[in-house]
Amino acid sequence: MNEKPSRILSNTKIYLLFIITTVLLILAAVFIDNLNYRLFSGDALNYTSGWTISVDHDVSDITDLNDYYFECKAYKTIISIKNTIPKGISKFSTISLPIYLSAIDVYISNKLVYSYGADLYNKKQLVGSGLHFITLPTDCSGENINIVIRPSQDDAFSRLNNIQIIDTKDVYSLYIKQQTGRFFVSVFLFTFGLILIVVGTCITIYFKNLSTIIFIGLLSVSVGLWTLTSSFTNQVLQPNLLVNTFIEYFSLYLAPLCFLLYQKTFYSFINKPMRIYYIINTSILALFNLIMPILHFANIYHISEGLYIFFAICVPIIPFIILLTVRPSSMSKDTKQIFTAGSIIILLTSIVDMLRHFILTFISVSNTYDLGSLLPYGTFFFMVTLIVGYNIQIYKSVAVEFEKRTFEKLAYTDSLTKLGNRAKADKDIVGYEKSKEEYAIISLDLNGLKQVNDSLGHDLGDKLLITFAEILTEVFGSFCQIYRFGGDEFMVLLNDADFDKVSYCITNMISLEEKKSNELPFKIDTSFGIARSSEIPDNDTFSVYKLADSRMYEMKLANSKFRH
């Protein structure tokens, strides 16, 4: 009586340990990522202090950019930040400046040295976000620098931080080093997702519907792309900021839709109200993903402006996911717990990311305390839980299928000759009848088995049966099904389309019987009868077999008279 509660308690402890370990690993990954950033930032000069800030000609005192909160209005706000280029920098230096959704012009000693997004801004089109690498003129230490920023969207950014002066030759490599953990996770998610999409598509086309794998792959790809673009690490391969920004927001919007489509796996296990709720939320999110790119390319509504609408659409999805994780499904208990842990983690990291965005955008909090997005790590863990869960499910399914086939084989196999038995013959004939295919039956009887058992012993009697089974397999095995009904009765079942081969096979069988008889201490001799289903008007199975059996006995009787 105490065994079951003890086992449940043990499973609960393992489950809680799994979740706690995961949370600790995610926090450790975030900590290492931030440690990496600070470690490799030593190779760059932090350039956030000593700036004079002017917002719409309202000039502030010299300040540290990390402590300044910006309020941006699209196509109205003009921000100017001025400083002096520090002395002692490398002869070939570059300023690394992350800017969001804004046009930028950089002047050194009143000379324009860098410009981005002016044409897009003037046409009121979306201006891309990204890292701007401003190559400084040689020997420019001590000169004045003026950076003019024109946001193309309300609340495009609230902070200007992480401005660095880097040796030009280390620009890209240093940034990747600072983002090592995030870069690795995003590349993994993107690559793994592509593999799942290809595998899922192939399996769906050639075998059965496995669209679930495709949706998981799309989720992984979308979060991987979003991480690459939102962290600007993909600029190493794709320097077009406008394209990157579109991918950033579109992949973000696509991710929860893929997650919901994946949840369709459990559709049959939820009640009608939840199904309606699921369909409504999925439809709204799908419509949003369809309309936003159209409005964006028509320059009616920028794709980045849909972010808060997206948040509002996602909020009602949260309770549905929570309810779904606690409802019963076809999964085993272990797999269900793993899936629940993965869903909870990705849900929590998504909620934390939304809160993080609101805090950094609307609350005056220093970016020093920002640990970065947790969503990539949550998704990474979710993918790991899916792999573990599916492996457990596949292992159990394979074990069950193996056990089923083993018992089925035992139920349909003659233990001595390893041929099919009567039950297997009945099943195969029913298959022919269902397919409306014509077939033929050869009924065979092994003559002299009783005499061999009585005179030479049952061991040699078994040897006679096994040898004859081998002869039948050699002769008919390539295109027929062969059965032993017990005792000295055998049967061969074949498609009527192969009937023209029977005559040759019978001749070959008799030849092999004679050959084996010369090698063994007993004679192998059979009587047989052949019947075709086309000979019976109503194609009745019993009548076909009875006809073959009666012809076999006619031959047996004729052989008996001949021997006497």
* Percentage of the chain modeled with pLDDT above 90: 30
Cα torsion 547, 550, 556, 560 to 10°: value is -150
CA distance readout (Å), 9 to 104, 332, 337: 60, 17, 14
Compute the average pLDDT of residues 341-367.
70
CB 148 within 8 A of CB 105: yes
pTM > 0.75: no
- The DSSP annotation for 404-434 comes to HHHHHHHHHB-TTT-SB-HHHHHHHHHHHHH
Provide CB contacts within 8 A for 352, sequence distance 6+. 374
pLDDT top residue among 71 and 397: 71
Distance CA 418, CA 483 (A): 9
pLDDT at residue 491, rounded to an integer: 93
**How many Å is the Cα radius of gyration of the chain?**
38
Say whether pLDDT at 237 is over 90. no
Give the C-alpha separation, 120 to 123, whole Å. Answer: 5
The pLDDT of 149-155, averaged and rounded, is: 92
Residue 323 to residue 278: CA distance in whole angstroms:
11
Provide mean pLDDT across the span 103-119: 94
Please report which confidence band the pLDDT of residue 14 belongs to, taking 50, 70 and 90 as the band edges: low
Share of the chain above pLDDT 70, in %: 78
Three-state DSSP class for residue 40:
helix
Q: What is the pLDDT of residues 196-227, one digit of tens each?
A: 888 888 877 776 666 678 888 898 899 889 88
Angle, alpha carbons 418-520-485 (nearest 5°)? 30
Pick the residue with more confidence: 362 or 540? 540
Q: Which residues contact 203 (CB under 8 A, 6 or more apart)?
A: 210, 213
* Stretch 391-416: mean pLDDT: 71
CB-based contact 444:492 (threshold 8 Å): yes
Average pLDDT over residues 146-156: 93
pLDDT at res. 29: 64
Cα angle, residue 481 at apex, residues 475 and 483 outer, rounded to 5°: 95
- Centroid of chain to Cα 205: 16
Closest alpha carbon to 125 in 102, 148, 159, 158: 102
Query: In the prediction, which pLDDT does 5 show?
Result: 42
Output the CA–CA distances (angstroms, integers) from residue 12 to 7, 8, 19, 349, in the order listed: 9, 6, 11, 23
The string of pLDDT tens digits covering residues 157-204 is 888 877 888 888 877 676 666 667 777 888 888 998 898 888 888 877
Q: How far apart are CA 328 and CA 324, in angstroms?
A: 8
| Sheet containing 130-135, strands listed edge to edge, beginning at the edge strand earlier in sequence | 45-46, 164-167, 93-99, 130-135
User: CATH assignment of 45-168?
Assistant: 2.60.120.260
For position 149, what pLDDT does the model report?
95
Say how many residues make up the chain: 564
What is the rounded average pLDDT of the residues 115-142? Answer: 91
Question: For residue 442, is pLDDT > 90?
Answer: yes
Pair type for strands 480-486 and 489-495: antiparallel
Task: Please give the class, per CATH, of domain 422-562.
Answer: alpha beta
Cα 182-45-61 angle, rounded to 5 deg: 110
Q: How many helices (H) and strands (E) does the chain have?
A: 16, 14
564 has a pLDDT exceeding 60: no
Domains in the chain: boundaries: 1-38, 45-168, 173-403, 422-562
Q: Mean pLDDT of all residues in the chain?
A: 81
| Residues 147/76, Cβ–Cβ less than 8 Å | no
- Give the whole-angstrom CA distance, residue 393 versus residue 332: 7
Quick one: pLDDT at residue 444?
93
Mean pLDDT along residues 10-24 = 59
135 DSSP assignment: E
pLDDT of residue 244 exceeding 80, the answer is yes
CA nearest 513: which of 446, 455, 417, 433?
446
Is residue 563 very low, low, confident or very high in pLDDT (cuts 50, 70, 90)?
very low
Q: Are 420 and 414 in contact (CB under 8 A)?
A: yes
Residue 225 has a CB neighbour count (10 Å cut-off) of 23
Contacts with 394 (C-beta within 8 Å, 6 or more apart), sequence order: none
With beta carbons less than 8 A apart as the criterion, state whether 121 and 237 touch: no
pLDDT interval class at 138 (50, 70, 90) = confident
The listed range with the strongest mean pLDDT (60-69, 90-99, 380-389, 531-540) is 90-99
Q: How far apart are CA 534 and CA 143, in angstroms?
A: 102
Torsion (CA) 483, 486, 488, 491 in degrees, nearest 10 = -20
Q: Quick one: pLDDT at residue 350?
A: 77
377 phi-psi bin (left φ>0, alpha ψ -120 to 50, beta other): alpha
Q: What is the pLDDT of residues 515-536, one digit of tens each?
A: 999 988 888 989 999 999 888 8
Structure tokens given for 136: 């400084």
Helix 272-297 with 307-314: angle, nearest 10 deg = 170
CA distance linking residue 229 with residue 220, whole number of Å: 14
Q: Considering only residues 308 and 210, tell me which one the structure prediction assigns the higher pLDDT.
A: 308
What is the arithmetic mean of pLDDT over 391-417?
71
Query: Are 476 and 482 within 8 A, CB to CB?
Result: yes
Decide if pLDDT at 40 tops 70. Answer: no
Q: State mean pLDDT over 100-122.
A: 94
**Which pLDDT does position 104 carry in this prediction?**
96
The residue-averaged pLDDT of 24-42 equals 62
pLDDT of res. 507: 92
Residue 265: pLDDT band (50, 70, 90) is low
Output 156 or 18, whichever has higher pLDDT.
156
Per-residue model confidence (pLDDT) at position 242: 93
If one compares 197 and 405, the residue with the highest pLDDT of the two is: 197
> What per-residue confidence (pLDDT) applies to 326?
63
- What pLDDT, in 10s, does the model give residues 425-440? 888 888 888 888 889 9
Query: Residue 225 carries which side chain, given as an amino acid letter?
Result: L
